[in-house]
Amino acid sequence: MNISRLVRAAQRGNKEALLELILAEQDAYYRLAYSYMKNEHDAMDVMEDMIVTLYEKLEQLKKREAFYSWSKTILVNRCKAVLRSQNRFVALEEDGPPEPALEAWTADNPYRYTESELDMSLLLAHLNPRQREAIELRYVHDLSYQTIADITDAPVGTIKSRISQGIQKLKAMIGGDRYENDRGETTGASADQDAIRT
């Protein structure tokens, strides 16, 4: 798929080209929207809003190869706007992780939580909202640092710092780089610190 060619065609009014671009990343769009909205209905609503915005503003896109970064930025901004209008954005930052909707637990939903995802959600809930958002965008949604910077309106260096600090907090919570070797001895930097304290 030639993204630049499809974007050029869509900018010239070819709705099928825009549809092809969107469908190629529909799962990624849904996961991103769902990670903010926390329910299927709201995630689908913000995706619809994103599609309308893309259609209306596509001619403004200068770098055709940046279509997906640009469209995901629009999607996240729409999610945040809806959450603010529902007064859920602040609560999202202050509360622990929300309970997944019943649909998220059913086998019919391909985006349901797995046990490891639930464990990770609990760990990420201990980070500040900016660190949590940066880590989720980088490692759950596999976005580049530049895309995350565009989405959050923060410099790339700040994004890298948030991710690094968040990972350090997560390491401290789960015991860092400790591990047991084949003799049953605990080794690693955290184990060395424990030995110094005793």
- For the chain, which residues make up each domain, given as ranges? 1-113, 114-198
- Is the confidence at residue 48, as pLDDT, over 90? yes
* Count of residues in the chain: 198
What tokens were used for 171?
Answer: 């390491």
- Tell me how far apart the alpha carbons of residues 52 and 166 are, in angstroms, rounded to a whole number: 35
pLDDT value at residue 171: 86
Q: Kindly report the pTM of this predicted structure.
A: 0.67
CATH class for the domain made up of 114-198 = mainly alpha
DSSP state string for 12-76: TT-HHHHHHHHHHTHHHHHHHHHHHH-SHHHHHHHHHHHHHHHHHHGGG---GGGHHHHHHHHHH
pLDDT value at residue 123: 82
Note the pLDDT tens digit of each residue in 64-90.
999 999 999 999 999 999 998 887 554
pLDDT band at 100 (very low <50, low <70, confident <90, very high): very low
Q: Report the 10 Å Cβ neighbour count for 105.
A: 11
pLDDT value at residue 51: 94
Which sign, positive or negative, has the C-alpha torsion 63, 64, 65, 68?
positive
Q: Is pLDDT larger for residue 68 or for residue 186?
A: 68
Cβ-Cβ contacts under 8 Å for 140 (sequence gap 6 or more): 31, 35
| The architecture CATH gives domain 1-113 | Orthogonal Bundle (1.10)
Q: Is pLDDT larger for residue 94 or for residue 12?
A: 12
Packed helices 40-57 and 15-24: angle between N→C axes, nearest 10 degrees: 140
pLDDT value at residue 122: 81
What tokens were used for 135?
Answer: 């880590």
Q: For a pLDDT cut of 90, what percent of the chain falls above it?
A: 55
- Mean pLDDT of all residues in the chain? 80
Residue 39 to residues 36, 78, 101, 130: CA-CA distances in angstroms? 9, 15, 6, 21
pLDDT value at residue 93: 37
Note the pLDDT tens digit of each residue in 126-181.
899 999 999 999 988 889 999 999 999 999 999 999 999 999 988 888 876 665 55
